[in-house]
Structure 1
Amino acid sequence: MKNRITNLSFLLLCTLLLFSCKSNNEEKEENAAIASAEKSEEKGLKDYYDGYFPIGVAVAPRSLEGQSKELILEQFNSMTPENVMKMGEIHPEQNRYYWEAADKIAEFAREHDMKMRGHALVWHQQTGDWIFKAEDGGQVSKEELLQRMKTHIDSVVSRYKGTIYAWDVVNEAISDNPEEFLRNSPWYEIAGEDFLVKAFEYAHEADPEAKLFYNDYNAVIPEKRERIYKLLKLLKDKGAPIDGVGIQAHWSIFDPSEKDLREAIDKYSSLGLDVQITELDVSLYPWEKERRELREGESDEFTPEMEQRQIESYDMFFKVFRDYKDVLTGVTFWNVSDNYSWLDHYPVEGRKNYPLLFDENYEPKKAYWKVVEFDEKN
């Protein structure tokens, strides 16, 4: 009798343990399903702005790994290579191309069904000196320069045809001197205005489906806005196949004003061109063009006052962007998070900046929530 009771007790204990294990497993599975469902319902910038415009980000190959990769896939649906498609990087010598880094970004875009912008075909910086030099060491002729430019554009644009939907064809051709019109770069010095028109013609020939943009900084400042408008109209009048203008949007908590921003978008779109915000960040410091050293006693603390001004700036900028959703065809941030920004090195090397919507740990900042919490009816 005693053995029977012992056996029954043992069986009862086993049954209870089995039920307990099953309950725990079911609970774990249920919690995992809930967590998965919650994650699938999480929205990123691209989701909040679905129906408005694509939300892009400038990337380097290293951006496509770890936390940065996760954030890109969660928040963005468009990408721009920050540096690796610039002529000096992708075409360092006349008969040598370096495709590996650009190919990696293009493959990532295809794999994850993301839009991709190309940046930039013709620029006065980050351009190998070889393109301007003749075999005898002197300056190359206009005819040879245009032929070299065509070869470069044909090679690069054709390689990414079908992956890149828009190109910054010419970058920053306007002079920084308000008394001048075009920048006196080697391009202009050798080929005059023809280099501008030909760049767009060559890009269109290489990929007739790609959208072609002129891209520049300080494009909202009234005096430079007028000169950029003059260039865009010149290109249109000469029959250049230009589709849009890129406003670089390296802005700050100090400017631009809402009035200047709206007037710039109105001005450019009046030519029938698409407008894109191509390189958005909001610096904590006033605009400086020239590089300089960090001054003694100069702080790079992200103060509560700076944070609040940045929140207000981002709020205003995106309110304007939403108002122009029928004109704007893309908004792209320049870098992924405050963990790294080109503004950590320019114009002051080593002065930490915090210009983006995600902090150094890839977490949304208060400005992020201001940007995404809006009434979709307004």
Structure 2
Amino acid sequence: MKNIYNNINLLLICTIFFVGCKSNSEENEKVVATTSEEQEQEKGLKDYYSEYFPVGVAVAPNSFEGKSKELILQHYNSMTPENVMKMGEIHPEQNRYYWEAADKIANFAREHDMKMRGHALVWHQQTGDWIFKAEDGGQVSKEELLQRMKNHIDTVVSRYKGTIYAWDVVNEAISDDPDEFLRKSEWYDIAGEDFIIKAFEYAHEADPEAKLFYNDYNAVIPEKRDRIYKLLKMLVDRDVPIDGVGIQGHWSIIDPSEQELRKAIDMYSSLGLDVQITELDVSIYPWEKERREMREDESDEFTPELQQQQVDKYKMFFDVFRDYKGVLTGLTFWNIADAYSWLDYYPVEGRKNYPLLFDEDYEPKEAYYEVTEFEETPDENEE
């Protein structure tokens, strides 16, 4: 009888031990699965593309709060100030600079170890009129204009030296008119093409380590692409200190085509220049620069059909981007999520657009998963 009790006790102990082990094993499996799932959820665009290029986003000083801040930290490792470093914002009067907004963005970049692009030193828009006017109210001379430009570039670039790794030095200097080369602007009227050359020279003097870019839109459309290439080749041939070209990716579900995109990257990189996609968004509307009002019969609903067209376009763009690993040195989205986009106000004010990878609630859209679910391809340079 005693042996029977001993055997029963032994059986009970083994059963308890087995159940306990199984329970612990199941719990451990749950913990591992949960941890793996959480790690996958915490991954962001910057992680998926860490072997390709930095992934950036255009920001404002009020971007660093709530959901937008969380999205920035999870998905991006580079930032571009959308407006606050443009000359009219940061240098509104000849003897007055406004640093607070730009400093806030620069401080955030330093605090979180993020790359930062400067945008933009010389542009025909959002420029204070003071820079073009002489003391008597007339037009300033070429010499004085270039000196004022130099003072501006010296001051701004020097302040952010070591924080800003790349600058859009000259922005949108090519004309939209296919029969013209350089855009008609006060910069060009007063200083001719020298304003472009000198801007790069002054920026290089202010920060020899910074990467200097020419930046423009419609840069993959053949007729404008060829004129941008002409400008870039002229600068390279004259040994102007230019490092790269920024292709503003203000595109749509309609265009550009894959062939146009590849051709543009090939042409620009053939000059030995870095290529970056600097202002990416994919509008659900065609390019309509001159249109300002919605039609009465028009809807701004983000229909399933439009969503799928956007998914397909984003997939094509990122398939191309990955093919140019080592050529593309950066990609920046223009705004954080569909909650706010500059395209809600331009060209048709009040017409809602949905151009980004995150929706109005800052949640990933189907296009996000399309551009992050890809297979790594071997680097041709690796054995």
Amino acid at match of 1:96: R
Deviation, structure 1 residue 36? 6.9
- Corresponding letter in the other structure for 1:90: I
User: How far has the Cα of 1:40 moved from its partner?
Assistant: 4.3
- The 1:36–1:88 alpha-carbon spacing in structure 2 relative to 1, beyond 3 Å, is farther
Shift in alpha-carbon separation, 1:35–1:86, aligned structure 2, 3 A: farther
> Alignment partner of 2:214: what SS?
strand
Question: Could you tell me which amino acid in structure 1 is paired with residue 190 of structure 2?
Answer: I
- 1:83-102 to structure 2, matched below 5 A, reads 83-102=83-102
Alignment of 1:297-312 (within 5 A): 297-312=297-312
- Structure 1: distance between partners of 2:298 and 2:60: 30
Instruction: Note if contact 1:197-1:238 (Cα within 8 Å) is conserved in structure 2.
Output: no
CA distance in 2, matches of 1:130, 1:68: 35
Partner of 1:372: 372
**What is the CA–CA distance in structure 2 between the aligned matches of 1:148 and 1:331, rounded to whole Å?**
32
C-alpha distance in 1, partners of 2:104/2:230? 37
The residue aligned with 1:62 is 62
Q: Give the TM-score normalised by structure 1.
A: 0.90
Verify: 1:220 aligned to 2:220, yes or no.
yes
Q: Which residue of 1 aligns with 2:318?
A: 318
Written as runs of structure 1 = structure 2, the 5 A alignment for 1:181-330 is 181-330=181-330
| Superposed CA RMSD | 1.6
Q: Deviations over 1:314-367 (max 9, x none)?
A: 000000000001100001000000000000000000000000000000000000
Q: Deviations over 1:42-77 (max 9, x none)?
A: 210000001100000000011111100000000000
Tell me the alpha carbon deviations over residues 98-118 of structure 1, each in whole angstroms, 9 at most, x when there is no partner.
Answer: 000000000000000000000
Question: Partner residue of 2:175?
Answer: 175
Q: Displacement of 1:34 after TM fit?
A: 8.2
Instruction: String of CA shifts for 1:274-294, please: whole Å, max 9, x gaps.
Output: 000000000000001124112
Equivalent residues in 2 for 1:72-91, closer than 5 Å: 72-91=72-91
1:53 match: 53
Instruction: Give the Cα–Cα distance (whole angstroms) in 2 for the partners of residues 235 and 256 of structure 1.
Output: 26
The 5 A counterparts of 1:109-188 are 109-188=109-188
SS of 1:83's equivalent in the other structure is coil
Quick one: which amino acid aligns to residue 360 of structure 1? E
Runs of 4+ in structure 1 off by over 4 angstroms are 30-38
* Aligned residue type for 1:112: H
Find the aligned partners of 1:330 and 1:373 in 2 and give their Cα distance: 20
Q: Percent same amino acid among aligned pairs?
A: 81
Unaligned runs of 5+ in 2: 1-28, 379-383
SS of residue matched to 1:170 = strand
Q: In structure 1, give the amino acid aligned to 2:94.
A: Q
SS of the counterpart of 1:70? helix
Q: What is residue 14 of structure 2 aligned with on the other side? A: none
Figure out how many residues of one structure are paired with residues of the other and give that number: 350
Distance 1:84 1:31, change over 3 A: farther
Distance 1:64 1:345 in 2: 22
Give the Å deviation of 1:39. Answer: 3.6
Q: Deviations over 1:12-35 (max 9, x none)?
A: xxxxxxxxxxxxxxxxxx999986
CA distance 1:178–1:312, change in 2 (3 Å):
same
Question: Partners in 1 of 2:115 and 2:164 — Cα distance?
Answer: 7
